[in-house]
Structure 1
Amino acid sequence: MWKRKSYFVISLSLLIAFAVWCQMGAFLVHIFFGVNIKANFFKFCFSLFKEDSVYYFVVVTLLSIIISYSILGTLFTIAEQYFLSRRFKQKLFLSKNVDMTKSINETFNRFNNDILVVNAEQPLAFTLGFRRPFIVFSTGLIRLLDFDELEAVVEHEAFHQKNMIRS
């Protein structure tokens, strides 16, 4: 029951966000290109002010600035996160322990070779990636745990990996 509610809440949130983004985009298209879009909430807000008045000009200018800032900020953040995640993955693969990666994948019958073991003394275990998630373990974690504990961690991370793919 809670899972269905969670999906409903996230779906509703995404639908509202999509509607607001569409309205903001339609407003900017109207302002910059003069395209008349009938169903625009922001145009309705402007209709409350007398055209060619100071208030109308101030509201149009402020709203245009806020919307442009929101769109540019979002696009910048998306690009920044994309490049940061690529750089993080590159750093992980540079510290890859080839022998232990192969051994762990064979030991736990991971046919996709989706477990990466990195050289690090800190005990680390996490799942990374959105489209093709993979599991990352540190050599420090592998040395710290016995076989049963490591198997539990593999299963735990495999659960995260499986649920990332379905999402």
Structure 2
Amino acid sequence: MTKLWTRRSSAMLAVGILIAALVLSQMAMYEAHLLWGANMHRNLLDYCAGLFYRSSFLYYAIHIALNALVIYTLFRLIHTGLRQIMLDRTYGNRLSRLSAKHGADRLAVRFGHGANDLVVLEDERMVALTAGFGKPRIVLSTGLIDLLDERELQAVLAHEASHRIHRDPLKLFVLRLISDAFGYIPLTRWAYRNYSILCELTADEHAIASTGSEAGLGGAMLKMLGRARSKPMFPAAAGFADGSINYRLRQLVEPKPALPIRLDARSLAISLSVLALLLGMIVLAGT
């Protein structure tokens, strides 16, 4: 089952990145032609504008609308990206101030993890997440460590180790950036929501395989679900007790390999229409 969840989460990542690449490539070709007269053949953005007589109201209106779409998309990409990076840096500095070095060392020896991969916070809240883009680290709070027994803590560490191995914080950041900037294509939001759950299911399966039982994982979920959860400490992090925990608990009882979030017919129709236009851009640009 782990390979199934991994393949499906990879598919969600590919959907988001492919859509972003298609849109940005066509926008770049359109702007290069419009601003510098670059001979890149006609992509669909330029083709649509060219359907109307030059100097007509509709001709200028189409160009204004297309340029507005380009500006909006780039603004959302830059604004969201910079905001997330700044927040991540701010929380990273806060993490350094609250971390207990000796606690991480003891936990690493206790469970056979690398000391540099773990951070223990002096905090009473229930914190279990993996954060960081370049070198993700597992973050646990002393409140969580005191709450869980040995088997449950081992399951949580194995779960977070999966996030670290697969670099889920970075992938979630990329998909969130894409879904925010290209929100007018519903498939991007669908891919982000599905990936956020599928990566948790992959990590759960890794934890079960590592501990040899669902008991530790299920017990940790129930204990953390019973405690009030505060706002996530990191803007782009893969957390153990995230919003998908109820679905994950159902998966432990009745495994269902279907995608967690179904795309409704209206959103699918909109997405397919936009993707068809994007593919048309590629074809027309090459002619």
With structure 2 as the length reference, what TM-score do the two structures score? 0.53
Match of 1:101 among 96, 99, 104: 104
Selected match of 1:38 from 37, 41, 55: 41
Other-structure match for 2:82: 79
- In the other structure, the counterpart of 1:138 is 141
Shift of 1:45: 0.5
Q: Which has the higher contact order (CA 8 A, sep 6+)?
A: 2
How far apart are residue 56 of structure 1 and its match? 0.5
Whether the 8 Å contact between 2:26 and 2:45 is mirrored in structure 1 is yes
From the superposition, tell whether residues 4 and 117 of structure 1 become closer, same or farther in structure 2 (CA, over 3 Å).
Answer: closer
Identity %: 32
Is there any run of 5+ residues in structure 2 with no aligned partner, and where?
172-287
CA displacement, residues 27-80 of structure 1 (integer Å, 9 cap, x when unaligned): 122222232321411111012101121211111122112211211221121111
Matches of 1:136 and 1:3 in 2, distance apart? 23
The 3-state SS of whatever aligns with 1:135 is strand
Q: 1:151 aligns with which of 147, 154, 157?
A: 154
Shift of the 126–70 alpha-carbon distance from structure 1 to 2, 3 Å rule, reads same
Alpha carbon RMSD of aligned pairs, Å? 2.1
Deviation at 1:114, TM superposition (A): 0.6
- Mapped to 2, the partners of 1:37 and 1:77 lie a distance apart of 30
Q: Secondary structure at the match of 1:113?
A: helix
1:63 is aligned to: 66
**Aligned with 2:130 (options 116, 127, 133):** 127
* Alpha-carbon displacement from aligned partner over 1:130-154 (angstroms, at most 9, x marks no partner): 3321100001111222323222221
Distance apart, 1:9 and its partner CA: 4.9
Give the partner amino acid of 1:105: A
Larger Rg computed on CA atoms: 1
| Residues in 1 aligned to 2:119 and 2:159: alpha-carbon distance in whole angstroms | 15
What code does the residue aligned with 2:105 have? K
1:25 is the counterpart of 2:18:
no
Aligned residue in 1 for 2:163: 160
Q: Which runs of 5+ in 1 are unaligned?
A: none
